[in-house]
Structure 1
Amino acid sequence: MHQQTIHFLFTTSNSSFTSSSFHPKSRFHSPHYDFASLSSPKNAHFPIFSLNATLSLPLKLPRTSEVPTISPPIRPVPHQPNLRRSQFREKMLYLESIGLDFLSLINHNPPIVSASLSDIKSTVDYMTSLGFTAIEFRRIAGMCPEIITSRVSDIVPVFTFLLREVCVNGSDLKRVIHRRPRLLACSVKQRLRPTLYFLQSIGISEVNKHTYLLSTSVEEKLIPRIEYFENIGFSHRDAVSMFRRFPQLFNYSVEGNFEPKFNYFVVEMGRDLKELKEFPHYFSFSLENRIKPRHQCCVDKGVCFPLPVLLKMSEAQFRDRVEVLFSSIG
Structure 2
Amino acid sequence: MPILTLCHSKLSPSLTLQLPCNCMRRMGLITQFKCSVVNRTLTSSSVAPPTSKPHSRRLNRKQGRSSSLYSRPSLSEMNKERMANREKVYAFLRGIGIVPDELDGLELPVTVEVMRERVDFLHNLGLTIEDINNYPLVLGCSVKKNMVPVLDYLGKLGVRKSTFTQFLQRYPQVLHASVVIDLEPVVKYLQGMDIKLSDIPRVLETYPEVLGFKLEGTMSTSVAYLVGIGVGRREIGRVLTRYPEILGMRVGRVIKPFVEYLESLGIPRLAVARIIEKRPYILGFGLDEKVKPNVEALEEFNIRRACLPSVIAQYPDIMGMDLKPRLENQSNLLKSLLDLDSEDFGRVVEKMPQVISLSNAPMLKHVNFLKDCGFTLQQMKKMIVGCPQLLALNIDIMKLSFDYFQKEMGRPLGDLVAFPAFFTYGLESTVKPRHKMVSKKGVKCSLAWMLNCSDDKFEQRMDYDTIDIEEMEMGPSFDMNSLMEPRSDESASDYDDSEDDEDDE
What interval of TM-score do these two structures reach, taking the shorter chain for normalisation?
Answer: 0.5 to 0.7
Change in Cα spacing, 1:310 to 1:126, as seen in structure 2 (3 Å) is closer
Corresponding residue of 2:312: 306
SS at match of 1:84: helix
Quote the offset at 1:299 in angstroms: 4.8
Asked if the contact 2:259–2:269 (Cα under 8 Å) also holds between the matched residues in 1, the reply is no
Question: Does 2:122 align with 1:127?
Answer: yes
Quote the offset at 1:121 in angstroms: 3.1
Question: Does 2:86 align with 1:80?
Answer: no
- Measure, in 1, the Cα distance between the counterparts of 2:118 and 2:319: 45
> Which amino acid in 2 is paired with 1:120?
M
- Measure, in 2, the Cα distance between the counterparts of 1:306 and 1:327: 14
Question: Does 2:78 align with 1:64?
Answer: no
Corresponding residue of 2:241: 244
Quote the offset at 1:287 in angstroms: 1.4
Corresponding residue of 1:264: 261
Corresponding residue of 2:436: none
Change in Cα spacing, 1:324 to 1:244, as seen in structure 2 (3 Å) is farther
Corresponding residue of 2:177: 186
SS at match of 2:216: helix
Quote the offset at 1:255 in angstroms: 4.4
Which residue, out of 182, 187, 191, partners 1:196? Answer: 187
Change in Cα spacing, 1:171 to 1:278, as seen in structure 2 (3 Å) is closer
Cα deviation code 1:89-129 (max 9, x no counterpart): 122212212222111333xxx323x653454333223233x
- Measure, in 2, the Cα distance between the counterparts of 1:255 and 1:88: 47
Quote the offset at 1:238 in angstroms: 5.0
Which residue, out of 119, 127, 136, partners 1:145? Answer: 136
Quote the offset at 1:293 in angstroms: 1.5
Change in Cα spacing, 1:324 to 1:247, as seen in structure 2 (3 Å) is farther
- Measure, in 1, the Cα distance between the counterparts of 2:343 and 2:48: 115
Corresponding residue of 1:173: 164
Corresponding residue of 1:326: 346
Corresponding residue of 1:35: none
- Measure, in 2, the Cα distance between the counterparts of 1:84 and 1:144: 24
Cα deviation code 1:27-74 (max 9, x no counterpart): xxxxxxxxxxxxxxxxxxxxxxxxxxxxxxx98996223331221331
SS at match of 1:206: helix
Change in Cα spacing, 1:96 to 1:182, as seen in structure 2 (3 Å) is same
Question: Does 2:226 align with 1:229?
Answer: yes
Question: Does 2:164 align with 1:158?
Answer: no
Corresponding residue of 1:216: 212
Change in Cα spacing, 1:226 to 1:81, as seen in structure 2 (3 Å) is same
- Measure, in 2, the Cα distance between the counterparts of 1:192 and 1:160: 12
Change in Cα spacing, 1:257 to 1:138, as seen in structure 2 (3 Å) is farther
- Measure, in 2, the Cα distance between the counterparts of 1:119 and 1:221: 39
Corresponding residue of 1:23: none
Quote the offset at 1:292 in angstroms: 0.4
Asked if the contact 1:146–1:185 (Cα under 8 Å) also holds between the matched residues in 2, the reply is no
Question: Does 2:326 align with 1:317?
Answer: yes
Asked if the contact 2:295–2:319 (Cα under 8 Å) also holds between the matched residues in 1, the reply is no
* Structure (1/2) with the larger helix percentage: 2
Cα deviation code 1:151-193 (max 9, x no counterpart): 111211222222232241x333333333332332222222233
Q: How many residues align?
A: 264
- Measure, in 2, the Cα distance between the counterparts of 1:259 and 1:88: 51
- Measure, in 2, the Cα distance between the counterparts of 1:215 and 1:142: 22
> Which amino acid in 2 is paired with 1:203?
I
> Which amino acid in 2 is paired with 1:194?
P
Q: Percent identity?
A: 17
Q: Which runs of 5+ in 2 are unaligned?
A: 1-29, 33-44, 332-341, 351-384, 386-505
Task: Give the TM-score taking structure 2 as reference length.
Answer: 0.45
- Measure, in 1, the Cα distance between the counterparts of 2:256 and 2:31: 101
SS at match of 2:67: coil
- Measure, in 2, the Cα distance between the counterparts of 1:248 and 1:125: 32
- Measure, in 2, the Cα distance between the counterparts of 1:195 and 1:295: 38
SS at match of 1:215: helix
Corresponding residue of 2:90: 92
- Measure, in 1, the Cα distance between the counterparts of 2:159 and 2:279: 28
- Measure, in 1, the Cα distance between the counterparts of 2:230 and 2:162: 43
> Which amino acid in 2 is paired with 1:176?
F
SS at match of 1:203: coil
Asked if the contact 1:216–1:222 (Cα under 8 Å) also holds between the matched residues in 2, the reply is no
- Measure, in 2, the Cα distance between the counterparts of 1:255 and 1:94: 48
> Which amino acid in 1 is paired with 2:102?
S
Change in Cα spacing, 1:156 to 1:77, as seen in structure 2 (3 Å) is same
Change in Cα spacing, 1:127 to 1:244, as seen in structure 2 (3 Å) is closer
> Which amino acid in 1 is paired with 2:98?
L
Change in Cα spacing, 1:81 to 1:158, as seen in structure 2 (3 Å) is closer
> Which amino acid in 2 is paired with 1:96?
R
> Which amino acid in 2 is paired with 1:159?
L
> Which amino acid in 1 is paired with 2:141?
S
Q: Which runs of 5+ in 1 are unaligned?
A: 1-57
Higher relative contact order by CA 8 Å / sep ≥ 6: 1 or 2? 2
Corresponding residue of 1:282: 282
Task: Give the TM-score taking structure 1 as reference length.
Answer: 0.65
Asked if the contact 2:159–2:202 (Cα under 8 Å) also holds between the matched residues in 1, the reply is no
